[in-house]
Chains A and B, each alone.
Chain A
Amino acid sequence: MYFRNYLKKLTGRVFKVAVIYFLFLFVDAIPFSLASDSIGFYPLWETTGNVLEHRRLYLGTNGAAFGIANTAQIGVQPVSFMYRAPNIQAKFLLFKRAPWSIATQLGATQMLEQASRAFLSPMYTSRLDNPDFSITLLPVSIGASYDVSDWLQIHQGLTGLTLLGHGVLKDEFTPGYSVVAELMALNHHSALIHVADVGLWKHDLTLLGISYRYQSSWFEFRLGYFYRFRSTGMQSSPLIGFGFSLS
């Protein structure tokens, strides 16, 4: 009985907090223009055609980057960096004329031994297991962002991933294509639909996801859910990200 009452109280409080939170989100009418995404949400396979403004620093869980001369940005994937996978990315603007923005990104990730086992929780498992060997990942991509209208932006990314298996895994090149439709609602919010194919003619997996993005002048929060379909299995998981835009 005590537990039931406690649960009711707790549920009530959580509900109230949730209502207040969403109320604030949706009635917020401060004029604000949503900044274009310059990093992408899903790791490795998503990119955009945008770069950060000059001397703008973005510190986020799904990417940390610094804008240079409005034409380039340099950054890392910080969570992977802490999970025994040090990495770096450099992105260069190739073309920008409304409504198009096109950029290329070069990256390098060294997955150190045991990186695949560095999860905090044992409730998550990686397909790739590298207990005693390292792996080098060299992704190169071209991203294009297209402003269809003031409420719709399309981000496309064509990526080529070179994997060096250091004698354990085969060295191989895998192409991938991603497309993200960003529906920009109100001033601070957008809803995104994510689709990607990894492998293309040598198909490996298909990604399908949806996400939500909140952005203020200095803070960003993202929450999504993604499926990974393969010929013999399927995985799904949420994805969360938040970051601070500083200048």
Chain B
Amino acid sequence: MKIGRTHRIILGITLPLSLSLASCDWIPYAFMNSIPFHGDSAKNPDVYVYLGVDGLSYFTTQDAIKDGSFSDPQWRLAKFVTGFPGTSDASWTRIMHTEELGGYEFAYYDPTKDTILNRGLVGILEHVAPSLSSSINFEPEYLRGFDYWANGYSHVINAYNDTFVSYADSVGNLFSLLEGRAETATVFTAYLVEIDVMGHLQASTDVSKALSYLAKKIEEFKRNHPERNFHFTLFSDHGLDFIPVEKDRLVKFESELQKVGVTPVDSIKSHNPSAELFAIPVVHTRVTYMALHTHPDLIEKIAEKTSLIPSVDLAVAHLKQGPTTAEWFGIWKDGKLAASFGFDANRDLYFIPSDAHFEEVGLNADFGGSSGLRTATDQELFQQTKNSTYPDLFYRIRTSLSPVGCKFPADVLASLKPSYVSMGFQIMDADTLTAHSGFHGSLEYRGTLGTLLTEEKEIPDAVRSDTLLDLFPRLKNHLRDRSVHFVEGDKNAATE
């Protein structure tokens, strides 16, 4: 058989393309999702649905409820107090108790190699690169906990390129899958990314409307499936401040550090701590915090200097020494150590100097006593801080500087003032695809308070996100069924 030149060229182009695509998943995806089937509803009369909604702020959910969504009396809403820094990957990792990340985001400093990994474009590409297989996969471990988290190879790009279209696709696919899975399963988990993207690029009213659309679909689904009782729970990984950023408040941290006398560097080992003040800033996406790594001898000084940067609200770091043998933490504001506290992990007990001025860090709590130290339980502090400017301040600072959810926590963390945002890494001048209308990451309540909305059970008015799996054991068991390796996290996370 003679093959002509034209056909050789066509073959040369189409064959590799076809082989690579066809050998993937489109054919079985079409085949398996076209099989009609039914289970026996008597075997699983109750189905528990857990929706991880990225970036769903507590206040957005409140707005949707005010507009009439989730109006049935069985729905209960709680402030979901998420970890610091409030970035998606670090936060989901902690919530789902999955394998630790290197840092708080894809880009992180590895002290064993003394270098920043996944810096810049590499880290960004890891965000959008499709998972071609379970082994060629850049996605973080927590996504394995969700039965559904993507519509296909281009989902993440679509989510940023046309968020509302992608959202409609995702919600449609979600309920199509749920309808099938509910025929045999008692638990279904799904992850939606678009609400977070909307929060970064759209107004809060748009996000609230998108949530109302989801609420409508949930009610519609339940009405269409009276054969089973569906119990939905929505939870998110952080809040969103919905403060659009002005160009002059996009902070380039490298230059800001220089202004306060700190040299931004790429390596710690190649610098002398007795000769210069230096730190490695980890810049990745547009967030309202900054992670810094430095030499152990310089930690407190770097925290102090960082707190002098006009855009920085608070800087937090370990203290080298405290009044007790416990682990001590400092909070710097405007170049001064504004407050400190200690923590004894064995007794799950906090130590607070009686003369501490926590009002300087937005906390109007009376820690009493005229001299020495006052002790406070984790539960007491959670209750006192849950409605403050900096919810769950003590636990969140303490765990942010510990290897909880990440292998290499920062030495110093700077929480930015509202309306200031770290510029982050930029791909060309792609501003239209870059966050500009809402942010998260800082210690402040707006970026911190996510949503916990459930019709499964009674819940307290505020829940620490690290305890979600204890509150919902069915979800915890489901993760185990999905072969997700459970990592304990902070052993003192429980608030009760």
Chain A bound to chain B: yes
Contact A122 B179 (CB under 8 A): no
Asked if B260 is an interface residue, CB under 8 A from chain A, the answer is no
Point out the residue from B34, B169, B184 that lies within 8 Å of A198, measured CB to CB: B34
Contact B22 A235 (CB under 8 A): no
Asked if B459 is an interface residue, CB under 8 A from chain A, the answer is no
Point out the residue from B39, B130, B184 that lies within 8 Å of A123, measured CB to CB: B130
Residues of B within 8 A of A17 (CB): 13
Residues of B within 8 A of A45 (CB): 34
Contact A125 B22 (CB under 8 A): no
Known: A121-B153, A221-B14, A237-B29. A232 touches B39 (CB 8 A): no
**Which B1-36 residues have C-beta < 8 A from chain A?**
1, 3-4, 6-7, 9-11, 13-15, 18-19, 21-36
Contact A122 B137 (CB under 8 A): yes
- Identify which of A94-102, A112-120, A143-151 touches chain B: A112-120
- Identify which of A51-59, A67-75, A169-177 touches chain B: A169-177
Point out the residue from A125, A216, A235 that lies within 8 Å of B147, measured CB to CB: A125
B139-169 CB mask vs A (1 if < 8 Å, else 0) is 1000110011111110100000000000001
Contact B36 A204 (CB under 8 A): yes
Known: A24-B6, A30-B4, A120-B133. A80 touches B31 (CB 8 A): yes
B33-59 CB mask vs A (1 if < 8 Å, else 0) is 111111110000000000000000000
Residues of A within 8 A of B38 (CB): 169-170, 172
Contact B225 A232 (CB under 8 A): yes
Contact B176 A228 (CB under 8 A): yes
In the complex, A216→B8 CA distance in Å? 11
User: Closest CB of chain B to A49's CB: distance in Å?
Assistant: 21
Contact A199 B36 (CB under 8 A): yes
In the complex, A234→B34 CA distance in Å? 12
Contact B11 A77 (CB under 8 A): no
In the complex, A115→B175 CA distance in Å? 21
User: Closest CB of chain A to B219's CB: distance in Å?
Assistant: 11
Contact B10 A25 (CB under 8 A): yes
Asked if B224 is an interface residue, CB under 8 A from chain A, the answer is yes
Point out the residue from A125, A127, A129, A207 that lies within 8 Å of B179, measured CB to CB: A127
B114-147 CB mask vs A (1 if < 8 Å, else 0) is 0000000100000000111110010100011001
In the complex, A125→B27 CA distance in Å? 12
Asked if A238 is an interface residue, CB under 8 A from chain B, the answer is yes
Known: A218-B1, A234-B172. A119 touches B36 (CB 8 A): no
In the complex, A42→B24 CA distance in Å? 16
User: Closest CB of chain A to B50's CB: distance in Å?
Assistant: 15
In the complex, A78→B34 CA distance in Å? 17
Q: How many residues of A contact B (CB 8 A)?
A: 70
Residues of B within 8 A of A232 (CB): 175-176, 178-179, 220-221, 224-225
User: Closest CB of chain A to B40's CB: distance in Å?
Assistant: 7
In the complex, A198→B30 CA distance in Å? 13
In the complex, A4→B428 CA distance in Å? 7
- How many interface contacts (CB-CB < 8 Å) are there between A and B? 212
Closest to B134 in A: A122
Contact A165 B37 (CB under 8 A): yes
Residues of A within 8 A of B30 (CB): 42-43, 226, 237, 239
Asked if A138 is an interface residue, CB under 8 A from chain B, the answer is no
In the complex, A15→B173 CA distance in Å? 32
User: Closest CB of chain A to B140's CB: distance in Å?
Assistant: 12
Point out the residue from A125, A129, A163 that lies within 8 Å of B36, measured CB to CB: A163
Contact A228 B34 (CB under 8 A): yes
Contact B224 A170 (CB under 8 A): no
User: Closest CB of chain A to B98's CB: distance in Å?
Assistant: 14
Contacts A232-B220, A233-B176, A234-B176 known; list 16 others, CB within 8 Å. Answer: A30-B4, A77-B31, A83-B28, A118-B28, A119-B29, A123-B149, A128-B32, A137-B35, A161-B35, A169-B37, A169-B38, A216-B7, A233-B171, A233-B177, A234-B172, A239-B30
**Which 9 A-B residue pairs are closest in the complex by CB-CB distance?**
A127-B180, A233-B176, A233-B175, A234-B172, A123-B150, A242-B18, A43-B31, A126-B32, A204-B36
Enumerate chain A interface residues (CB-CB to B < 8 A). 3-4, 17, 20-21, 24-25, 28, 30, 42-45, 61-62, 77, 79-80, 83, 85, 115-116, 118-129, 135, 137, 161, 163, 165, 168-170, 172, 174, 198-199, 204-205, 207, 214, 216-219, 221, 226, 228, 230-242
A sample of 25 cross-chain residue pairs with beta-carbon separation below 8 angstroms, ordered by A number, consists of A21-B9, A30-B6, A43-B31, A77-B31, A79-B23, A115-B32, A121-B24, A121-B130, A121-B133, A122-B150, A123-B25, A123-B131, A123-B151, A123-B152, A123-B155, A124-B152, A127-B176, A165-B39, A199-B36, A230-B179, A232-B176, A232-B179, A233-B173, A233-B176, A234-B176
Enumerate chain B interface residues (CB-CB to A < 8 A). 1, 3-4, 6-7, 9-11, 13-15, 18-19, 21-40, 121, 130-134, 137, 139, 143-144, 147-153, 155, 169, 171-181, 183-185, 220-221, 224-225, 427-428
